[in-house]
């Protein structure tokens, strides 16, 4: 079975932990620490929102890809895997966001 591109990227990112920061952007991010990685996720999220609001589809694809890359680095830094995210998504399958919020806020 073909490996998913996100799985491949996740494996590449994990392999960069402890690599040489002078030759790897990912290793440089890990070396800068969780705060810097989280900041980059925030910046890329804002750039994604701006691209969406300017209705520039090519820019949106680029910024969303940057966002997903940096989010995967942050998840790796926090020892959260794509499988953890998949499990959470599966758990939510079939549960309407409206029903979930109503159950949370009924008191």
Interface with ligand PRT by CB under 6 A: which residues?
9, 12, 16, 24-27, 66, 69
Residue of closest CB approach to ligand PRT: 26
- CB of 26 or CB of 48, closer to ligand PRT: 26
- Under 8 Å CB-to-CB from 17, ≥6 apart: which residues? 27, 30, 76
**Taking the complex as a whole, how short is the minimal distance between the CB of residue 54 and ligand PRT, in angstroms?**
18
- CB of 9 or CB of 85, closer to ligand PRT: 9
Q: What is the spatial distance between Cα 91 and Cα 75, in angstroms, rounded to a whole number?
A: 19
Decide: 44 and 74 in contact? Cβ < 8 Å: no
């Amino acid at each position: 079975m073909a490996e998913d591109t996100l799985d491949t990227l996740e494996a590449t990112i994990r392999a960069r932990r402890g690599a040489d920061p002078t030759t790897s952007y990912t290793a440089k991010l890990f070396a800068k620490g969780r705060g810097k990685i989280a900041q980059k996720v925030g910046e890329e999220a804002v750039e994604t929102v701006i691209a969406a609001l300017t209705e520039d589809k090519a820019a949106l694809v680029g910024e969303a890809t940057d966002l997903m890359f940096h989010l995967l680095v942050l998840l790796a830094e926090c020892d959260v895997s794509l499988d953890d995210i998949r499990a959470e998504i599966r758990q939510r399958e079939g549960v309407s966001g409206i029903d979930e919020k109503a159950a949370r806020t009924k008191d």
